[in-house]
Structure 1
Amino acid sequence: MIQASEIRKIIHVDMDAFYASVEQLDQPEWRGKPLAVGGNAERGVIAAASYEARKYGVRSAMSSILAVKKCPHLIFAKPRFDRYKEISLIIRDIFYEYTDLVEPLSLDEAFLDVTENKKDIKSAILIARQIREAIKEETGLNASAGVSYNKFLAKTASDINKPNGQAVILPQDAEAFLEKLPIERFFGIGKVTTEKMKGFGIHCGADLKQFSLQFLTTKFGKSGLHYFNIVRGVHLSEVQPNRIRKSISAENTFDQDLISLEDMKMGLLPIIKELIRRIEKSGINGRTITLKIKYNDYSVQTRSRTLEQYPDKKQIEELAFEILNQEEIPKPVRLLGLGLSNLNITEEHVHFGKQLLIPFESTED
């Protein structure tokens, strides 16, 4: 039995049809239509398919020729990985607002450990909902999420209410849920293993649970122990962050677009204060200050200034307003953000000009 003190709060966030959704976001005329990213009508392989295309049976890794047979009016879009990465970084910044324990699996999905989080929110379900709402607000894209006490179950849960939904698997419900789960729905069990298991009469979790550890390791090698454990709700792999923080920032989306420069200055002031609060809390400072401006048409502009020394609180405020004033704001403003980069966090934290000698293992982002 897992003790309450040992239960982790893990979220798996998975963007919905990410590549295809980005293309539909940037090309409004493609929205609501079957779309494939990659390949063309004559040759190639599909990298991603919109949900409208999936209704016709179009899937990733399918040949373009077969995809066109299934959906003759399929639209093909050339992949733009720089664009996908750009949006992926925005999404990851949202994750890091809640926790530094983020394990990206790809551009469009990641695990988060929010057992202890930066906002001191007790409910992982609420955090998942807030993250999905922030992703929608920041990017215009939908994300699904799964919540549970380990990575395997969180990943499994994220598929339950796709697209644009979330689900939770509680510790007390895990084994019963897994017993009913079709074996092909188990994360990490692919087509080949599925067919092999079905050859042994294993069609769902309850069937898998009937086989001994010795049988499973004999038939499936080292993976046998994994299968033995996961069907009992046991998965000990921790969220493995692989990121050195490169910036610290704060931003705000306004209820009404800001039109006048004075309104923008008033809107920027609490953002400056929040950034300074985060700097003081983390002990991190940076030499490059960047102002982010999102206009009412969702276009984004950034303006930066790099200093020779780490700024103090007064300098950050003065520089923020200087950067805002450096050129005309051409359109109404929906969002303002302020961030610091060129951080010194490798061997020590720099705290408003004072060097705090802290071992690397103890540093906080």
Structure 2
Amino acid sequence: MPTAPRAIIHVDMDAFYASVEQLDDPSLRGRPVIVAGLGRRGVVSTASYEARRYGVRSAMPTAEARRLCPDGAYVVPRHTRYQEVSAVVFDVFGEVTPQIEGLSLDEAFLDVTASLKLFASVEAIGRRVKEAIRERTGLNASVGMATNKLLAKLASELSKPDGFLRIDRHEIRGYLDPLPVGKMWTIGKVAEEALHRVGIRTIGELVRADNWRLEKALGERHARQILALARGDDERPVVTDAAEMSIGSEWTFDIDLLELPIAEAWMLRQCERVGARARARGLDARTVSVKLREPPFVTHSRQAKLPVAGNGTPEIYAVARRLLRTWWEQHPRPRLRLLGVSLSGFDTVEMPQQDMFAAPVEKKKTDGVQDRINEKFGAGALTRAGVLKTRSSE
């Protein structure tokens, strides 16, 4: 017997960070809101739809956004608040299926194939998700539905904002063919330009192109993959409980750092952040990586293993600080415009680490107290004394 088609839903919150800010501050509603770093080297995280009319986009330098939209409301990101709202959204997902693949705080794929036995249709499930998110958060979600991930994501994107669209198999060509090839998943700027050079600008033209042109532009293997997607074929499963690959935090400085003690203070601040996030997720890391960028854009990466897998801030900082000092001593005139720390190689925490070399209990208690206070009163409410050097240079 033929396998029944899958029912996949893609949910993407509309301008998530900016929408949360407008929800919490009614004076921002209807105004162009830009959530961004506000320093000289800040970058836009999210722009409301009102701001997008001015050409403001995510990943754009804040300085450029200010030129395009000088009267916009510029807001510093509040990640703790966004995580709170995200938890409510993901609770809604869990009410219709356990098959959830989270892509970010505000985006996920749901495989609701098995849930069709309980609900009338994939549209009924999608409508339930959309309305529940609206009722519990006050925010709009765009919902796309199809038989695979590619088409479900396309459906949510095409129907934004406040979207709701299902793409059936017989409708694939009508939706895909007119789109620019750059809209296709896996086609980046380089591949897009290569396709343009051989006269292929739309997905419809790609599907109808001869193999010689496609392979000339993309190479044989990539051409086969892209052609399958262009035809609407996508067998990727919804991957539930995908292991988090890394947890990172970084900071770009308005004025280059020239002193090692100040750089160490900033390193400690980033270690506090990633340590808290790892503890909140119940994850022990094995590897600490540091990211160091010299002006203008020369980036160095260094990494080392923790003696014992863990998530304690002192242990993370000890490794990160050693990597920073080694790099600093290797450069005759060290200066930094960006500094970051990330954790990877995670194990799920099942019981307290029983190891004679593990951090003393007092240090782990300190982390726990700090986490609880910052969770209650906001990030940065309680911090180590060594971090105070960074306050004057924010």
TM band (smaller chain): 0.5 to 0.7
Is the counterpart of residue 8 in structure 1 residue 6 in structure 2? yes
Q: How does 1:85-234 map to 2 (within 5 A)?
A: 85-117=83-115, 120-212=118-210, 216-217=214-215, 219-221=217-219, 222-234=221-233
TM-score relative to the length of structure 1? 0.63
CA distance in 1, matches of 2:149, 2:211: 22
Deviations 1:214-262 (A, max 9, x none): 6535532443222110111111101111169xxxxxxxxxxxxxxxxxx
SS in 2 for 1:47: strand
Computed over aligned residues only, the root mean square deviation of the Cα atoms, in angstroms, reads: 2.2
Deviations 1:124-153 (A, max 9, x none): 112111101100101111000111100001
2:72 aligned partner: 74
SS in 2 for 1:79: coil
CA distance in 2, matches of 1:118, 1:147: 13
Deviations 1:159-218 (A, max 9, x none): 111110111110111134322222122233233322221111111122101234565355
Contact 2:47 2:57 (C-alpha < 8 Å) held by counterparts: yes
Aligned residue-pair number: 243
Unaligned 5+ runs, structure 1? 245-343, 345-365
Contact 1:8 1:113 (C-alpha < 8 Å) held by counterparts: yes
SS in 2 for 1:110: strand
CA distance in 1, matches of 2:215, 2:117: 43
Contact 1:155 1:187 (C-alpha < 8 Å) held by counterparts: no
SS in 1 for 2:159: coil
Is the counterpart of residue 238 in structure 1 residue 265 in structure 2? no
How far off is 1:43 after superposition? 4.0
CA distance in 2, matches of 1:37, 1:119: 41
CA distance in 2, matches of 1:242, 1:89: 15
How far off is 1:6 after superposition? 3.0
CA distance in 2, matches of 1:209, 1:21: 38
CA distance in 1, matches of 2:166, 2:2: 17
2:53 aligned partner: 55
How far off is 1:86 after superposition? 1.3
SS in 2 for 1:202: coil
CA distance in 1, matches of 2:134, 2:203: 35
1:45 aligned partner: 43
SS in 1 for 2:177: helix
Deviations 1:26-51 (A, max 9, x none): 11111111111112274411111011
Identity %: 44
Stretch moving more, 105-114 or 208-217: 208-217
Q: Which amino acid aligns with 1:64?
A: T
SS in 1 for 2:237: coil
Contact 2:194 2:218 (C-alpha < 8 Å) held by counterparts: no
The 1:189–1:116 alpha-carbon spacing in structure 2 relative to 1, beyond 3 Å, is: same
How far off is 1:4 after superposition? 6.6
Unaligned 5+ runs, structure 2? 244-349, 351-394
SS in 2 for 1:117: helix
CA distance in 1, matches of 2:80, 2:161: 24
CA distance in 1, matches of 2:130, 2:34: 24
Contact 2:9 2:111 (C-alpha < 8 Å) held by counterparts: yes
Stretch moving more, 181-190 or 159-168: 181-190
The structure in which a higher percent of residues are helix is 2
SS in 2 for 1:160: helix
Stretch moving more, 13-22 or 27-36: 27-36
Contact 1:9 1:124 (C-alpha < 8 Å) held by counterparts: yes
SS in 2 for 1:134: helix
